[in-house]
């Protein structure tokens, strides 16, 4: 199985890719590391696992979707 990793907004532009599939990893942070070649993690980046807000150290399982995106602002 695999994990779907998605990047949104400015992160998508910075990474040059909107989504990627990777083999199993244990945490959302490991998914970031694998898909970005260990790029430094932005301080304010948000993480979601299966559409639920999460943290970099939260566990993930085969078949999960992990998304990374900048803070949402609005007015």
Residue 74 has pLDDT above 90, yes or no: no
pLDDT of residue 40 exceeding 80, the answer is yes
| 49 in any annotated domain | yes
| CATH code for the domain of 36 | 3.10.20.30
State the residue range of the domain holding 58. Answer: 3-69
Backbone angles phi, psi at 2, to 5 degrees: -145, 175
φ/ψ bin of 33: left (φ > 0), alpha (ψ from -120 to 50), beta (otherwise): alpha
Reported in sequence order, the residue ranges of 1-75 that DSSP labels E, i.e. its strands, are 3-7, 19-22, 46-49, 52-54, 65-69
d(CA 55, CA 15): 20
Q: Say if 47 falls within a structural domain.
A: yes
Identify the pLDDT of residue 14.
Answer: 87
Q: Structural domain tally of the chain?
A: 1
Q: Is the pTM of this model over 0.85?
A: yes
Residue 18 counted as domain residue: yes
């Amino acid at each position: 199985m695999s994990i779907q990793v998605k990047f949104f907004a400015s992160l998508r532009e910075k990474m040059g890719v909107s989504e990627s599939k990777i083999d199993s990893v244990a945490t959302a942070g490991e998914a970031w590391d694998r898909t970005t070649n260990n790029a430094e993690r932005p301080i304010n980046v948000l993480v979601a696992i299966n559409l639920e807000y999460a943290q970099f150290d939260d566990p993930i399982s085969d078949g999960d979707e992990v998304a990374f995106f900048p803070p949402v602002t609005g007015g």
